[in-house]
Amino acid sequence: MAGVISRFIGFFLTPLYTRVYSPADYGVLGILNNGYLLVTIILILALDNSTARWFYDTDDYADRKSSINTWLWFYLFFSLAATFTLFISAHFISRLLFGNSSEGYLYIRILSITLPIMLWMGVANNVLRFERKVWPTVSLTLLYTLTLIGLNVVFVLILNWGLKGAFYAQLGAALFSMPFSIYLIRSWIGPISLFEFSRLKQMIRYSIPFVPASIAYWLVNLSGVFFVNAYLSKSEAGLYHIGISIAAVAGLGTTAFQQAWSPFAFSIINQPNARHIYANVFYLYVLGMGGSCMLVSLFAPEALILLTTPEYYNAAWVISILSFGYLAIGLTSIADLGTAIVKKTAPLGIVSVLSAVLLIILNILFIPAFGKEGAALSICISQFIVPFIMFYISQKVYPIPYNFKKAILASMLIIIASVSGRMIHTGQFFIDLSIKLLILLAVLLFLYIINKSYIKQAFLIFKQN
């Protein structure tokens, strides 16, 4: 639920932004927000993964608290240093990204100040998930989301502050949510004396392979707007970014799954039927997430008509293509489970870097030929390379009885039906809507019928665990 709420932010703000900002403005917004995410990925150093692994290595509260505070204090000082660096170099970064944009440096400075404030929410969300405290996690995310949406309405729509209103809204929501995030994990926050340098070195050694993987993940999933801006224009970058925002609806389930998956998977690691549970999760994920991707892909044109203005309608195929990338993102979380369990994390970093290199090559080839749709296609291809290779590697070190054949057949059916449905264009909104709805229901019903007994058996196993 927390993941769904987080993903819902961009989707909810789409009707507001597209009625206030031009596609070029939307391109600037996308470039800076995606750049901000890259900075946070680097700052975290994948130590959230290390903290989770060390947390479940022991039941001792004091030892767990030491791991959390080692990460927290390192993250705090690192983020403050990043804030200072970004703040003083804002003019240079603005000229690099936008040329002579008069307010670009201001946006960058606002985002830099937001960095250490958002730290507390990030740490709190991770710790609460470690403890499986569902409602505090949801409450914190909901508080931030509602505050962000409310401040956007005030700053952007009412006060008409332009682009800076969106960035001030992010800063304001972070400030408002910070005290609550600290309160929720107050029992875990300790003095700096709990910071253990020796433990930090061990945690960094574990997490380092995840860093290039995380950067490659950003490159593969979020860098497209930079490539489109470089090869085409800010307006095309804006259309591409609106495609990301709406395609992210397909990622609602993926985000929620990823946030819950690692704590759940590690918590049952010693159960005798753990591997069968992992295999069941894999196939059910393909069915469920595949259906979500198909939903978003089919109805992309209708979503743009309902949520945006005509100048954004040309983003439909970007949405359809990118929606299936979220299927690959969740598959990667499943595919690298085996290597994570045996604490061999290097392969994921290597494979992710290879995927990022492939993306750059495909962007160079596809964007000049196919425009922003070429960027979307490049990302989708690169995303699927990672789980494909990681499944092969993980099966070597920690075999799990996945049913790959059934999963591939189900995926192919969903993709073929989605592309076929997108070709339908009668010119009549409700006729197109009805035909696509029939296609969606027919495919989902077929998949349910042929997998009915398997689905019931899998959910029975989950209920017992």
Whether 228 is covered by a domain: the verdict is: yes
Same domain assignment for residues 176 and 220: no
Domain that holds residue 85: 47-207
Closest among 308, 310, 321, 301 to 425, alpha carbons compared? 301
Instruction: Report which DSSP code applies to 208.
Output: T
pLDDT tens for each residue of 27-59: 888 889 888 988 988 888 888 888 888 888 888
Which residue's entry shows tokens 């994570």? 340
Confidence band for 3, pLDDT divided at 50, 70 and 90 = low
Measure the CA–CA gap between 74 and 176, rounded to whole angstroms.
23
Same domain assignment for residues 347 and 405: yes
Q: Which residue, 154, 173, 207, sits at the end of a domain?
A: 207
In 213-362, DSSP assigns E strands to: none
Whether 160 is covered by a domain: the verdict is: yes
Whether 41 is covered by a domain: the verdict is: no
Which residue's entry shows tokens 């404030």? 117
pLDDT tens for each residue of 92-142: 999 888 876 667 899 999 999 999 999 898 899 889 988 888 889 889 988
Specify whether the CB–CB gap between 46 and 208 falls below 8 A: yes
Which residue's entry shows tokens 């790959």? 404
- Angstrom distances, CA of residue 54 to CA of 50, 236, 279, 327, 399: 6, 44, 25, 28, 23
Same domain assignment for residues 219 and 298: yes
Sign of CA dihedral 206, 207, 212, 214: positive
Over 70: is that where the pLDDT of 463 sits?
no
pLDDT tens for each residue of 399-431: 999 989 999 999 999 999 999 999 988 888 889
Type of residue found at 162: G
Whether 291 is covered by a domain: the verdict is: yes
Specify whether the CB–CB gap between 387 and 328 falls below 8 A: yes
Measure the CA–CA gap between 377 and 287, rounded to whole angstroms.
22
Instruction: Report which DSSP code applies to 233.
Output: -
**Domain total in the chain:** 2
Three-state SS sequence of 30-67:
HHHHHHHHHHHHHHHCCHHHHHHHHHCCCCCHHHHHHH
Whether 274 is covered by a domain: the verdict is: yes
Confidence band for 7, pLDDT divided at 50, 70 and 90 = low
